Structure 1
């Protein structure tokens, strides 16, 4: 019989204090529901991966990996002092996601990094980040309103895997970030930019099925990146 199992997509999750219903206000492992919904619509089975020691072992049981958005990465990991506006740093999450990324790459599992996830992919290869965009560019288009994913245009390198996946070289994408890739890490290739020159997408040179985007595709109406990830993960599942 043919294998009809839906590919299992691991998504790195937040560890935050959260409140729900009238009774509960406590530490929780959580993730915006749009990530889960996007994976399901693309034909995958989402599994949340909490930021805990040893979580990299879960890479043996997943077919694809999403490194999700969230708080800022510890600047010590790319050799900088912490800026006063750097926020939400969780060393345990940094360590867990870096280990997950390494394990996924070792297994040939396809990876999609989103916002913080793309930044982590760059830091993992020795790259650096701009810690606060208003000191580098006019940061308004990257975070216009608190808690709102407003769109801005990006241009994508023709012939790149990113352009192939998106099916175009120009797009309006939903964004919300105050940090961005600065120096590219070893073997990291930039494949999309905003008009102010900030990197909006990356690929790992010579490594298939690994993409990172600075925007939040789960908050938009283009399923291309999730469709690509689940299709690539189907190959992992068959193996």
Structure 2
């Protein structure tokens, strides 16, 4: 019996510093990403490939050619220049290089029909790459909104802070087997104007968008929560999302 190779899932990197040099500004920076994304992909049958941030289009093209799917992970705020808006006073510290690399990869994957799973910052990047905009600070821009940073405040990435209401006619509802789920929440930004190629498939009780999917039949799913922290113990249903993503990349 022939063995089907694991599909390669590209995961763009974040910039950081080595844990043993946290207070040493002189120490060289490193590229990497949160281990939980990589574990989730591996457990679902994929092989994660970290894509470092580069201005060299030839290198980026070579890396892109190797991947079968793209996972857009969480991270820093996106530079509002990417969607034509001025900076909000409560904006974090954007990394324009990360924005540029991820937008290029996302647009190319969408064009080529490669599956995309976009998580937290990822769903925001997906929307921006397709022409959408963001609320730059939920507490300032959406009066009466829930605390969408509650899991952060509790310093517990697995804390289920609020429910989301899921469109019954969506890929996400089908995979979770439910039209409502409790989720963790670690963000202060959210989708505002939705890109034409996307449709909203879940919201929080305050109306904040929690999930989107492609209008077409392409496997493109974006979620505002962090399922990479939930799939293995807190809510096992999220494992199905990673499995379906990897299976789509295999196909």
Find 1:189's aligned residue among 193, 196, 199.
199
CA 1:196 to 1:140, structure 2 compared with 1: closer, same or farther past 3 Å? Answer: closer
Contact residue 15 and residue 27 of structure 1 kept, 8 A: yes
1:119-158 alignment, distance < 5 Å? 119-135=124-140, 136-144=142-150, 145=153, 147-149=155-157, 150-151=159-160, 152-158=162-168
Match of 2:92 in 1: 87
SS at match of 1:47: strand
Could you tell me how far 1:52 is from its partner in structure 2? 1.4
Could you tell me how far 1:2 is from its partner in structure 2? 2.6
CA 1:71 to 1:192, structure 2 compared with 1: closer, same or farther past 3 Å? Answer: same
- Report the Cα distance in structure 1 between the residues aligned to 2:80 and 2:20, rounded to whole angstroms: 32
Match of 2:67 in 1: 62
- Report the Cα distance in structure 1 between the residues aligned to 2:175 and 2:88, rounded to whole angstroms: 35
Match of 1:48 in 2: 50
TM-score by length of 2: 0.87
1:83-232 alignment, distance < 5 Å? 83-135=88-140, 136-144=142-150, 145=153, 147-149=155-157, 150-151=159-160, 152-221=162-231, 222-232=238-248
5+ residue gaps, structure 1, are none
- Report the Cα distance in structure 2 between the residues aligned to 1:60 and 1:146, rounded to whole angstroms: 40
Match of 1:9 in 2: 9
TM-score by length of 1: 0.91
CA 1:85 to 1:92, structure 2 compared with 1: closer, same or farther past 3 Å? Answer: same
SS at match of 1:212: strand
Could you tell me how far 1:16 is from its partner in structure 2? 2.2
Match of 2:76 in 1: 71
